[in-house]
A and B are shown apart, each in its own frame.
Chain A
Amino acid sequence: MGDWGLLKQGAEARIFKGEFYGRPCLLKERFKKNYRQPALDELLTKERTKAEVRMLMKCRLIGLPIPALFLVELEKGRIYMEYLEDAITVKDRISSLEGGGGGDRTSQEMKRLAGLIGQSLGRMHSHNIIHGDLTTSNMLLRLSAANRLYLIDFGLSFVDGRSEEKGVDLYVLERAILSTHPNCDALFQEILQEYAKEYITGGKEVLRKLDDVRLRGRKRTMVG
């Protein structure tokens, strides 16, 4: 199947780029983690590969854009999927928008981006899909294809109807945005607005849960 060039090395997996029967293909391989107990490692790798594949298919069924799946090798922890040629991460997009200086144009683009994210997440949660690792790096944007937003990296995902889990999902995103984009305070609020608009039946309830989750944990309110 030709050559595979390493595209990215993460803590969880390696990403290769190559060709799959003539199509540009991306290979995600969850490698062995030597720091983990072998039994635990095998279990986690299998579970996550399975979860990722299942959830990608489920997203496709509910009409959320995802890269097309080509092949899965469960034993080796490998997933072959479509390589999105002109996609950039939302993280890079935000950075370039921030770099382009303020102004109406920028804030409009930001708003549009927040709207896209909010809609996708609302749709996803309304079908009880919990992503489990929402960050701006796990969202791809294709500017050419009418700004389509692709959610990726479903390794920690699961299906759950409770607003508790959905609230935690959003909380994870909020924390990710605050730490990677310290100057984008308004972005998350706009995402939540669009989220509630898209997820009519349960969005409000989830936002209430989100407030609960924020107050959890120890020593949050203490000074020092």
Chain B
Amino acid sequence: MIYDPTNRAHANRDKVDLAWLAVSKEVKEPGETSSKMASKLASDILTYEVNRPGSFLSSWNNRWKEPMVIAIGFEGSANKLGIGIVRDGEVLANPRRTFVTPPGQGFLPKDTAAHHRRHILDLLREALNEAQVQPQDVDVVCFTKGPGMGAPLASVAIVARTVAQLWDKPLLGVNHCIGHIEMARLVTGARDPTVLYVSGGNTQIIAYLSGRYRIFGETIDIAVGNCLDRFARVLKLSNDPSPGFNIEQLAKRGKKFLPLPYAIKGMDVSFSGLLTYIEEKAPLLVQSGDYTPEDLCFSLQETVFSMLVETTGVKELSLINRIMFLT
């Protein structure tokens, strides 16, 4: 590491260097009370810095042990199965498998879990090969602890726990939502984003305030992804690669706008009434020839996206999942 005074992390090093000086001086010539207090403070800072993961001193302390932290993560909270290997913020591998159901059907927990069990070992081998990492190089094994569908979560957690014990590595459970946010922060470099977190199971507007992530707005019933998925089932659209993606393709060709219920409750949104409305109307409207499926997809997409943009209503928007990918 080359010292760079304009770099913030390095500037912090200056403080630590000062603390070092204070301590070493104190060790040589024990002095009056005030300097004792100063040295106590300095040694406290040092202890803290040495123990703080990711700090300069802790990496300095561990410089001969491991060059960098390598983490492997297992995710399987819904119909997608993914394994990621990351070294100090650099994604080395991230292979995935998606459980795709026939048109008109959703994915059931039991079948999804079976899909994950069938593929996870191949996927693990693929990830390790792609990252060119040996099991003994891995420092920590992470897995999605929740929230999500119980059976798929459990089948993936078992694998994570097993390899953690086989390789004798620490095991770390991660909240699915926090995982999404931190991943997006890493990839985009956004420091303090307001986050619109949308997927098949979640619709939340989140920001970091006084020490923790807080939910400023969210759906009061179903998630936006769920709303789109279920409408795709009405139109019998393909689930490959995802229902939301296929709705978007149709929407591109839509022309006629159908006014739909627009439900905003303060910072919260609601999609269930909208879904019931369009589920009931869609077959009639298409049959009568007033609207094409393309028009309906276009109207639905414009309406729900407008609701989301309105409640989020901010300058820096980090779209955690691009809306085409509903997990």
User: When the two chains form their complex, are residues B266 and A176 in contact, meaning their CB atoms are under 8 A apart?
Assistant: yes
Task: Give per-residue flags for A152-186: 1 if the beta carbon is below 8 A from chain B beta carbons, else 0.
Answer: 00001000000000001101110110110010000
A172→B266 CA distance, assembly (Å): 6
A98→B177 CA distance, assembly (Å): 31
CB distance from A31 to the nearest CB of B (A): 13
A216→B306 CA distance, assembly (Å): 23
Flag whether A219 is at the interface (Cβ < 8 A): yes
A contact residues, total (Cβ < 8 Å): 34
User: When the two chains form their complex, are residues B223 and A218 in contact, meaning their CB atoms are under 8 A apart?
Assistant: yes
Q: Which residue of chain A is the closest to B217 with respect to CB atoms?
A: A175
Flag whether B132 is at the interface (Cβ < 8 A): no
User: When the two chains form their complex, are residues A175 and B266 in contact, meaning their CB atoms are under 8 A apart?
Assistant: yes
- Which secondary structure dominates chain A's binding surface? loop
B-side interface size class: 35 or more
User: When the two chains form their complex, are residues B266 and A182 in contact, meaning their CB atoms are under 8 A apart?
Assistant: no
A37→B221 CA distance, assembly (Å): 25
Flag whether A133 is at the interface (Cβ < 8 A): yes
CB distance from A43 to the nearest CB of B (A): 6
CB distance from B199 to the nearest CB of A (A): 11
CB distance from B172 to the nearest CB of A (A): 13
A36→B69 CA distance, assembly (Å): 45
A135→B217 CA distance, assembly (Å): 12
User: When the two chains form their complex, are residues A182 and B257 in contact, meaning their CB atoms are under 8 A apart?
Assistant: no
Flag whether A132 is at the interface (Cβ < 8 A): yes
User: When the two chains form their complex, are residues A132 and B265 in contact, meaning their CB atoms are under 8 A apart?
Assistant: yes
Contact of B220 among A10, A37, A156, A213 (CB under 8 A): A213
User: When the two chains form their complex, are residues B267 and A222 in contact, meaning their CB atoms are under 8 A apart?
Assistant: no
Flag whether B145 is at the interface (Cβ < 8 A): yes
Contact of B303 among A12, A35, A40, A168 (CB under 8 A): A40
Flag whether B209 is at the interface (Cβ < 8 A): yes
Whether A172 contacts B267 in the complex (CB less than 8 A), given A179-B214, A216-B221, comes out as yes
Q: Inside 8 A of A213's CB, which chain B residues have their CB?
A: 220
User: When the two chains form their complex, are residues A44 and B221 in contact, meaning their CB atoms are under 8 A apart?
Assistant: no
Q: Inside 8 A of A171's CB, which chain B residues have their CB?
A: 220, 265, 268
- Which secondary structure dominates chain B's binding surface? mixed
Flag whether A1 is at the interface (Cβ < 8 A): no
Q: Which of B189-218 contact A (CB under 8 A)?
A: 201-202, 209-210, 214-218
Flag whether B30 is at the interface (Cβ < 8 A): no
Whether A37 contacts B302 in the complex (CB less than 8 A), given A182-B210, A217-B221, A219-B201, comes out as yes
User: When the two chains form their complex, are residues B259 and A39 in contact, meaning their CB atoms are under 8 A apart?
Assistant: yes
Flag whether A134 is at the interface (Cβ < 8 A): yes
Q: Inside 8 A of B262's CB, which chain A residues have their CB?
A: 40, 44
Q: Which of A135, A171, A182, A218 counts the most chain B CB atoms within 10 A? A: A218
Q: Which residue of chain A is the closest to B153 with respect to CB atoms?
A: A224
User: When the two chains form their complex, are residues A11 and B265 in contact, meaning their CB atoms are under 8 A apart?
Assistant: no
Q: Which residue of chain B is the closest to A47 with respect to CB atoms?
A: B262
User: When the two chains form their complex, are residues B266 and A132 in contact, meaning their CB atoms are under 8 A apart?
Assistant: yes
A169→B210 CA distance, assembly (Å): 26
Task: Give per-residue flags for B252-263: 1 if the beta carbon is below 8 A from chain A beta carbons, else 0.
Answer: 000001010010
A56→B202 CA distance, assembly (Å): 35
Q: Inside 8 A of A172's CB, which chain B residues have their CB?
A: 265-268
Q: Which of A40, A156, A216, A223 counts the most chain B CB atoms within 10 A? A: A40
A105→B145 CA distance, assembly (Å): 45
Contact of A37 among B202, B209, B215, B306 (CB under 8 A): B306
User: When the two chains form their complex, are residues B222 and A218 in contact, meaning their CB atoms are under 8 A apart?
Assistant: yes
Q: Inside 8 A of A135's CB, which chain B residues have their CB?
A: 266-267
Q: Which residue of chain A is the closest to B226 with respect to CB atoms?
A: A218
CB distance from A47 to the nearest CB of B (A): 9
User: When the two chains form their complex, are residues B222 and A36 in contact, meaning their CB atoms are under 8 A apart?
Assistant: no
Q: Inside 8 A of B302's CB, which chain A residues have their CB?
A: 36-37, 40
User: When the two chains form their complex, are residues A222 and B147 in contact, meaning their CB atoms are under 8 A apart?
Assistant: yes
Contact of A168 among B173, B223, B265 (CB under 8 A): B265
Q: A12-B310, A179-B215, A213-B220 are in contact. List 8 more A-B contacts (CB 8 A).
A: A33-B310, A40-B257, A40-B262, A132-B264, A175-B266, A176-B266, A217-B219, A219-B147
13 sample A-B contacts, Cβ–Cβ < 8 Å, listed by A number: A10-B313, A36-B306, A37-B302, A40-B302, A168-B220, A175-B267, A179-B267, A182-B210, A182-B214, A217-B218, A219-B147, A223-B147, A224-B173
Identify the B interface with A (CB < 8 A).
Answer: 144-148, 173, 175-176, 201-202, 209-210, 214-223, 257, 259, 262, 264-268, 302-303, 305-306, 309-310, 313-314
